[in-house]
Amino acid sequence: MRAVFREHGIPCTEGEPYAGAAKARAFAKRHGFPLVFKPEIGVGAAGAFRVNDDEELNAALEKGGLEGYVVEKFETGRLTTYDGLTDRDGRVVFSTSHLYSAGIMDIVNNKLPMHYYNRREFPDGMEEFGNRIVRAFDLRERFFHIELFDLGDGKYRALEVNFRPPGGFTTDLMNYSADVDVYKLWAEIVATGSAPEQWKFDRAYHACHVSRRDGVSYKYSHEEALKRLGDALVLYRRMPDAFAGAMGNHMYLLRTPDFAELKKLIAVVEART
């Protein structure tokens, strides 16, 4: 993945497959701390952890079990995504961006409150940066889920690209944000190679996934939260256990065109006693 990023001049995080303690220490010397170790094959930051100094690095190396891991330079910046769908010619026919309340690794390891929502408009430079990645990997007739760090001032650094829809109920967020059906759109592309002739969309809403965790005491009961969320609540589900570490045990999907209102609704769900 990084080889493709570098070949096309796309800024990306520094990282390499784990190949023994000596090479891991050499990587730390070149790039400094913090570092992140994560499974090369995985999802939702499962098994990922951060080391902050030589002492923590030595402890991780002595513990072992790092075969099949990647070691990366920890990146600062706001975690965000560029998500969408391409037609058979590689044209992006639907796209959006989601912002996370925190990094997924920190959410999983520290059981932090978790929410994420789409932006109605792309920030400066993001759409161009995301489309460069789509072209670099020649993505055709498929969904994509690209994770980025927003460094500010229109600058971005690629973390990873996934040749699939984003996880959980994010495709539902896409639909609710623009009153579309991305499943039907994908089927049309598979069948014909392109989007319908009259296809167009408008991201009219901020659509949000906000969650609760089992064992946490919340200010509002589930029933009271439902009343306070009102018509902004479009879907509630208990999350499958496979997703719960990253995405919470209880999922509330919300939508509203008003970002200030969205923040108030998120607070209703997340408020603790």
pLDDT digits (tens, 9 = 90+) for 223-258: 999 999 999 999 999 999 888 888 889 999 999 999
Cα pseudo-dihedral 181, 184, 189, 190, rounded to 10: 140
Alpha-carbon Rg for the chain, nearest whole angstrom, is 20
Average pLDDT value for residue range 35-52 = 79
Cα pseudo-dihedral 105, 108, 109, 113, rounded to 10: 110
Question: Could you give the CA distance from residue 18 to residue 32 in angstroms, rounded to a whole number?
Answer: 16
pLDDT digits (tens, 9 = 90+) for 154-199: 999 999 999 999 988 999 999 999 999 999 999 999 999 999 989 9
Average pLDDT value for residue range 207-212 = 96
Give the tokens for residue 151: 């460094």
Question: Could you give the CA distance from residue 46 to residue 150 in angstroms, rounded to a whole number?
Answer: 23
Give the tokens for residue 62: 């002595």
Give the H or E element holding residue 97: none
Domains of the chain by residue range: 2-73, 78-270
Give the H or E element holding residue 37: strand 35-39
Average pLDDT value for residue range 127-138 = 97
Please name the amino acid found at residue 81.
T
pLDDT digits (tens, 9 = 90+) for 6-16: 999 999 998 88
Q: What is the CATH number of domain 78-270?
A: 3.30.470.20
Can you tell me which residue has the tokens 């999350």? Answer: 239
The pLDDT of residue 104 is above 70 = no
Residue 255 CA to its chain's centroid (Å): 18
- Listed in sequence order, the residues at least 6 apart from 141 whose beta carbon sits closer than 8 Å to its beta carbon are 86, 87, 88, 189, 190, 193
Q: What pLDDT is stored for residue 107 in this prediction?
A: 66
CATH class of 2-73: alpha beta
Residue 106 CA to its chain's centroid (Å): 13
Count of residues in the chain:
273
Q: What pLDDT is stored for residue 50 in this prediction?
A: 86
Whole-structure pTM value:
0.86
